[in-house]
Amino acid sequence: MKENSNPKNSGSQEKSLLDNTIPKITIICSAPDLASQNIKTHLLNLMEWKLLELPENSGFSAARESQDGRFRLVDIEEMHVFQDGLDRRLESAGLPASLIIFASKHRSKEEVSSLTVHCTGNPSDDARLGGCPKSLAVSSPAAMKSILMEMKRLAEQKGLKYDVTLEVTHHGPTELSVPSLYAEIGSTEVQWKDPEAGEVAAKAILAVSLEKVPVAIGFGGGHYAMRQTGLLFETSISFGHNFPKYKLEFLDEALIRQAIEKSKADFAYFDRKSMKSEERKKISEILEKLGLSVFKESEIREKYGY
């Protein structure tokens, strides 16, 4: 583990305290989450980190800053999904974030080996897994695109048999004013503890880019948003919030407005074959009222294809 917890002199100590007031990309690792701990191990080995002093009762187990000053790594004892208000707690501890990346496990019944990225929110009244009903977090489409593309590149380079995919918007936390995303390893304990998957996820997180890209919000498709994932990989666009076909019935103008604003969306995309005609009509009318165009896949590929 590359870590330095002893500043050489009071001058560097003062600089360290000053650095703490600058918002930084903040990676959150959860103690009970095996994939999170796997990713953390690789993050600590991939670059030098200095241990930061936390105020009493901060609620955080530990905090570190990368030697290059770009990242903070913060440990929590709870699960990620219940971290509403985390951005405010970080700020109170003198650790303001510009972007929050939750390093996490992904669980699925299919037990598929996967590397996934998604933003958070509850499109319906169901908020059992954190967050508030009918509420969306602020997304970071540029960060999601860069991390997912790097996951894919590194997994292919290693010959890792993992599906690399964008997931739809789901679970908490939702009450964050700072952009956030989940970077995950799925879907069972075997993959959560896989050191190769942990290394790929950690390297992809450290390669995150915030360079502006054209942004869509997506409607339709399944949980793994296969068509949206294809467009993300094969064109210059990214996605903010995505709503699968089984959540479309819950969407109303207020939620779609949230999705547009919290994704800073330039246009919308429909996975048309997976949507009922009445759903397409209803959502199209809302988008038109809100001034957002719907682009077909062919139009996106023509305009934004590599």
| pLDDT for residue 30 is more than 60 | yes
What confidence category does residue 20 fall into, taking pLDDT thresholds of 50, 70 and 90?
Answer: low
| pLDDT for residue 175 is more than 90 | yes
* Phi and psi, residue 71, nearest 5°: -120, 155
Q: For the segment 273-303, what is each residue's pLDDT rounded down to a tens digit?
A: 999 999 999 999 999 999 999 999 999 999 9
In the chain, the largest separation of any two C-alpha atoms, in whole Å, equals 67
| pLDDT for residue 12 is more than 60 | no
| pLDDT for residue 68 is more than 90 | yes
pLDDT value of residue 14: 40
Least confident span in 31-40, 107-116, 170-179? 107-116
**Alpha-helical runs (H) found in the chain:** 10-19, 34-46, 86-92, 141-158, 189-192, 195-206, 226-234, 253-263, 277-289, 297-304
| pLDDT for residue 31 is more than 80 | yes
Using alpha carbons only, give the angle 117, 128, 90 rounded to the nearest 5 degrees.
60
pLDDT value of residue 110: 85
Average pLDDT over residues 174-198: 97
What confidence category does residue 109 fall into, taking pLDDT thresholds of 50, 70 and 90?
Answer: confident
pLDDT value of residue 9: 39
**Residue boundaries of the structural domains of the chain:** 22-210, 212-305
Average pLDDT over residues 51-61: 95
Q: For the segment 216-266, what is each residue's pLDDT rounded down to a tens digit?
A: 999 999 999 999 999 999 999 999 999 999 999 999 999 999 999 999 999
Rounded CA-CA distance 143/132 in Å is: 24
Closest CA to 229 of 117, 305, 108: 117
Rounded CA-CA distance 260/288 in Å is: 12
Rounded CA-CA distance 225/177 in Å is: 25
Q: Is 212-305 a CATH 3.90.110.10 domain?
A: no
Determine the angle formed by the axes of helices 195-206 and 141-158, rounding to 10 degrees: 140
Average pLDDT, whole number, for the chain?
94
Rounded CA-CA distance 1/64 in Å is: 12
Residue type, 166: L
| Homologous superfamily (CATH) for 22-210 | AF0625-like (3.40.630.50)
Q: Report residue 84 as tokens.
A: 């509403």
pLDDT value of residue 7: 39
Check if the beta carbon of residue 192 is closer than 8 Å to that of residue 38. Answer: yes
Please indicate whether the domains covering 22-210 and 212-305 agree at the CATH topology level: no
Q: For the segment 116-162, what is each residue's pLDDT rounded down to a tens digit?
A: 999 999 999 999 999 999 999 999 999 999 999 999 999 999 999 99
| pLDDT for residue 6 is more than 70 | no
Rounded CA-CA distance 87/96 in Å is: 7
pLDDT value of residue 18: 45
Peptide bond into 173 cis (omega under 30): yes
Closest CA to 180 of 259, 302, 255, 262: 262
274-306 residues labelled b (16+ CB within 10 A) or e (exposed): bbeeebbebbeebbeeeebebbebeebbeebee
pLDDT value of residue 4: 52
How large a percentage of the chain has pLDDT more than 70?
A: 93
pLDDT value of residue 52: 97
